[in-house]
Amino acid sequence: MMDVATKSLTGQGIALSFGGIEVLKGLDVEFRAGEITGLIGPNGAGKTSLFNCLTGAYHPQKGAISYAGHSLEGLPPAARAQKGIVRSFQHVALSPDLTVLENVMIGVARNYHSGWLHAFLPTVRGRHEKAEMRADAERALAELGLAKAADKMPSELPPGMLRLVEIARAIVGRPAVLMLDEPAAGLNNSETRDLMRSLSALASPDLVMVVVEHDMDLVMSICDRIYVLNFGAFVACGTPAEVRSNEEVVRIYLGSDDD
């Protein structure tokens, strides 16, 4: 129990505003390892902004963020990535110049450290490293059922597939914290079901997984805990059953979503 608690990603009093508009109003969160946490809320609630604060893309005016007991204060996104804190993007952010496989290989790049010489010359170590990255990426693609798309360019794939590629890039490097921003947007029903299965399979005692999603079926069925965000503040937090029966949540979110 102790072990699990120390591996969590926590934020205390995270407050973020843009030019006087309060986007996040002092949020306290604890995303625990071994759980899949859902983060839901209407459009503009601040879900992506919270991700951005946690990964270091935004600088909250107030609040403390720590992972496994260590403060992430002042660490740029790249340094947080080095600690295994990884995310996917709501708006697909793949390089159009790279094949799908190469895009996914970038997800493991942070685990390799060969120098510049290996980048320019056909050295044994460089080739070895590339082969390993390739194998990792192929495995991640296969897990999401994308093996056939490996050598395609992103421009040749439909948006739903690109989102899966984006997820493959996030999971390929064996992250410690995995934050997925609307992973199922643009997927059809069967693709969403496959994705749910893959995400559930990914859960492990050491992994902190957070999923922002508008698809309630997905959130309710795979998440262990759910945070509900509205106008930059949490209105509820608990198990799917608790959240589903929370009147406030039903009113502001589920109610409007169902009809």
Partner 1 sequence: MSDHPVTIKAVHPPLPERLRELVASDLGSYVLAVVLIVLPLLVSGSWMFAIGVCFANAIGVLAVSFLVRYGGEVSIGHAFFAAVGAYSVAILDTRFGLSLLVSVPLALVLGVVTGVAFAWPSRKLSGIYLAVSTMALALAVPELINNTDALTGGYEGLYVSKPLIPGLPMSFQRYYVALAVLIAVVFALARFRHSRQGLTILLSKAHPAAADAFGTRQVWARCAVLGISGGIAALCGAMLAFAGSTVSPSGFTLWSSIFLLVGSVVSFYGLTLARALIGGAFLTLVPQFLSASGAWIPVFYGLALLGMILLGHYLPRLKEMMARHGGTA
Partner 2 sequence: MNDVLRDLFPLAWSGMITGCLYALGAMGLVMIFKSSRVVNFSHGNVAGFAAFLIYGFSSGVLLDLSWGAAVLLTIVAVVAIACLTYAVIAPLVFDSDLTATIATLGIGLIAQGATLLIFGADIVSLDLPIPRFSTSVLGLRITGYDLTVLGVAIVTIGALFFVIDYTKLGIAFRAISENSFAAEVCGLNLRSIHLFSWVVAAVLGVVGALLIVPTTFLSVTTVAAFMLQAFAAAVIGGFASLPGSLIGGILIGVLMNLFTFYVSPQFSSTFLLCIILLALNIFPNGILARVGGSRV
Ligand X SMILES: Nc1ncnc2c1ncn2[C@@H]1O[C@H](COP(=O)(O)OP(=O)(O)OP(=O)(O)O)[C@@H](O)[C@H]1O
* Alpha carbon distance 98, 244 (integer Å): 42
DSSP letter string, 57-125: SS--SEEEEEETTEE-TT--HHHHHHTTEEE--SS----TTS-HHHHHHHHHHTT----HHHHHS--HH
Selected binder of partner 1 within 129, 182, 213, 215 (CB under 8 A): 129
Kindly state whether residue 57 participates in binding partner 2, applying the rule CB under 8 A: yes
Kindly state whether residue 43 participates in binding ligand X, applying the rule CB under 6 A: yes
Question: Which CB atom, from 53 or from 184, has the smaller least distance to partner 2?
Answer: 53
Helix residue spans in the chain (DSSP H)? 2-6, 47-55, 77-82, 100-109, 116-120, 124-143, 159-171, 189-202, 216-222, 240-245, 247-249, 255-258
CB of 58 to partner 2, least distance (A): 8
Instruction: Using the structure block, give the residue that is written with the tokens 């604890």.
Output: 30
Kindly state whether residue 23 participates in binding ligand X, applying the rule CB under 6 A: yes
Which of 188, 201, 244, 255 has its CA nearest to residue 220? 244
CB of 89 to partner 2, least distance (A): 8
Site stretch for partner 2 (CB under 8 A), options 26-34, 51-59, 113-121, 163-171: 51-59
Q: Which does 15 bind (CB under 5 to 8 A by kind): partner 2, ligand X, partner 1, none?
A: none
Which of 233, 231, 232, 228 has its CA nearest to residue 247? 228
Q: Which does 96 bind (CB under 5 to 8 A by kind): ligand X, Mg ion, partner 1, none?
A: partner 1
Q: Which of residues 83-112 bind partner 2 (CB under 8 A)?
A: 89
Q: Which does 63 bind (CB under 5 to 8 A by kind): partner 1, ligand X, partner 2, none?
A: none
Kindly state whether residue 47 participates in binding ligand X, applying the rule CB under 6 A: yes
Interface contacts to partner 2, rule CB under 8 A: 18-19, 48, 52, 57-58, 89
